[in-house]
Structure formats: C-alpha cells, structure tokens
Amino acid sequence: MNPRRPVTLDDVARRAGVSRSAASRVINNAPHVSKAKRDAVLRAVQDLGYVPNASARALATNQVGAVVLALSAEDPQVFAGPFFAEVIVGVTSVLEETDLELMVMLATSARGQTRLEQLLRTRQADGVMLMSMHGDDPIARLAEQSDVPVVFGGRPVNFEPRYYVDADNRGGARLATEHLVAIGRRRIATITGRMDEGAGTARYKGYQEALAVEGLDAGRVVHGDFTEDGGGRAMAELLARHPDLDAVFVASDQMAIGALRVLKDAGKSVPGDVAVVGFNDIATARHTAPPLTTISQPIQSLGHEMARMLLTLTSGETPSPLILPTRLVQRASTTSTVTACSA
C-alpha cells in the first residue's frame, strides 16, 4: 500500500476479509453485523489507522454531525451575558461526549429567521435547541412542525411544545415574594421580565399569586426587559410612582443590578429602606453591594438537560418534558426586617 495514500474503506474491508458494505455498517455502528465481522473490522481500522470521511459518514447515517442552539434575542451581546454563557457550558458538557458540533444562531432579524427556517426545512442540522422565543414567533411553530428534532429551553407564551426543559419560574417567583412578606415587607413592587417570553409571564404570575394569598396590593409593577439598563429604568419609574415601596422582586439578577444602582443613587438603603430579591443566581449576584438575595435556578443544568433531551430524540426515543427546581438563596439585600404594617 502506498504510505502516502489515505486509507480507504475498501482497504479496511480487504484487511478484515469482509464486504465493503459490512465494513461500512460496523464503522457507522449499524445493527445486524455479526460479532466476528465487527471485531475483524475494528481490528483493521486500528491496524490501518483508518479515519472515516465526515461527508461519507453523514451520507451513510443520514446525519449532518451538528446541532444548533438558536436564540430569538434582539441583542447579539446576549451570548456574552452570564446566563447564556452558562447555558452553553451545559450544552457543550454533553456534546463533547459525542461527535456532534454546536452551531449558535441569533434568530431575531428577518435574515436570521430565514436562515433558521431554511435549516429546519432542509434538515441542515441533526437537531435544534430553541431559547427566548417571543410571543407568536413563527419559528417556534415551524420548529414544532419540522421533521428535525427540536427541544425548547423554556416554554413560549402561547403554546406548550412537545419537548422542553424549563425552570420552575412561577414557583420561584412565588418563593421570592413570600420571602419578602416573611421579613415584614408589605409594599412589595416587581420589575417583570419581557411579557412576550414565558419566563417573564410565569415570574409575574408567581409574584401576583404570593401577594394574593396575603391580601396585599400587587399593583406596584413596571415591566422590564431582562437587561441591567432596563432594570435601572424600571426601578427609577417605580420610585417615581410608588415612593413608599419597601421591597422589590426583580425578575432577573441582571435587572436587579441596575435596580440596586438606582436605589443607591436615590439615597435608599438596601435592605433598610428597600429589600431586593433577584432571579437566576448568576455569579455576579454574590458580589453586588449588598450581595443579592435571589432565586437560584440550575442554569448549566438547563443547557445540559436540553442537550441530553435532544440526543434522546435523535436516537429515536421519546423523552418527557422536564421542569427544573428553583430555590431561595438569602444574602444581605434582604437580611434586615421591618415592622409589618397594613397595605
């Protein structure tokens, strides 16, 4: 054999003493191959140093060798944010055990949506993970009808997909608000997330439910956008409209960071004047001034479980939807108490 010529599948088949098709089935891990033939082919692969051609393998297995994580987010900088950075870590921790590559797409612009739509229609990926779907995003419906395996990270506002991984957003928000009530706060405001996203609406409902049980006013509300600047703007509006508020549940830690800055600039002490609870428990929450009480959700696990669910789908099995638990992490932004008073 010419040492400069790449080893081919035919070379492997000849060394193993099997047909080319049998060698191909072994290399692509297909069923219905005898143990003797499989062992012979694997020995030949090792002896010859055979490396399968990626394109040929894709044709043989009807696989592309890549999966997509697509976000319907307006700002490309969202990929650099702590939340999605942790999601990607979780996804890659699963995919690194496979031969699949990860492609990340922003699917908000018309061009981005067209690219994702084409990918779904033409099966240019072995599977897709979708996150941050807004309102009646046509991509979400298209994905549900596609032949490509699709897993949602979170649930869209207007329908429940077949396969999704989500956090207990509603229960976590209820827990946050109940904590504020438990430390004696009665004029509790909220800065919501985007109301065209499932997480935003679920966290708002959790806040409303907790105050309804206590018979407290749930009307101190400003809608935010999950960004630090948006949280700052919303906090300024809350202070202007409700200067007597004594607590605020903020639907993300990023927004809570902006809210803390505005409270400080307004001369409000935290938690003395205003107690603050965030949501997500990103790493920065431990280092704010004061450190932020927050609802912890397993962000890396969200990405990890999305990828695992997608692999289950691509293998032909049918997984069940999964909701991950949330928990309260108490820090200095809510440690002091105030005397309870009427709403």
Residue with token string 């010419």 = 2
Nearby residues of 2 by Cβ (< 8 Å), 6 or more positions away: none
Task: Please choose, from the candidates 290, 296, 254, 295, the residue with its C-alpha nearest in 3D space to the C-alpha of residue 274.
Answer: 290
Is a pLDDT exceeding 50 seen at residue 6? yes
Tokens of residue 21, six digits: 């098709």
Residue 62 CA to its chain's centroid (Å): 28
Cα–Cα distances in angstroms (integers) from residue 322 to residues 161, 209, 265, 314, in the given order: 12, 23, 41, 17
What confidence tens digit (pLDDT) does each residue in 251-277 have? 999 999 999 999 999 999 999 999 999
pLDDT score for 279: 98
What confidence tens digit (pLDDT) does each residue in 150-200 have? 999 998 888 888 999 999 999 999 999 999 999 999 999 999 999 989 999
Higher confidence at residue 83 or residue 219? 219
Cβ contacts of 319-322, under 8 Å, gap ≥ 24: 319/163, 321/162, 321/163, 321/164, 321/165, 321/166, 322/164, 322/165, 322/166
Region of poorest pLDDT, from 115-124, 211-220, 301-310: 115-124
Determine how β-strand 293-296 pairs with β-strand 327-329.
antiparallel
pTM: 0.77
Q: Are 311 and 157 in contact (CB under 8 A)?
A: no
Determine how β-strand 275-280 pairs with β-strand 247-250.
parallel
pLDDT score for 342: 31
pLDDT score for 76: 58
Q: Are 189 and 220 in contact (CB under 8 A)?
A: yes
The 247-250 sheet, strands edge to edge:
221-223, 188-192, 247-250, 275-280, 293-296, 327-329
Task: Count the residues in the chain.
Answer: 343
Higher confidence at residue 139 or residue 229? 229
Tokens of residue 322, six digits: 């999964």
Tokens of residue 281, six digits: 């428990």
DSSP state of 301: H
Is a pLDDT exceeding 70 seen at residue 59? no
What confidence tens digit (pLDDT) does each residue in 225-235 have? 999 999 999 99
Domains annotated for the chain, with CATH where assigned, are 9-61 (1.10.260.40), 66-167+299-324 (3.40.50.2300), 169-297+328-334 (3.40.50.2300)
Higher confidence at residue 163 or residue 35? 163
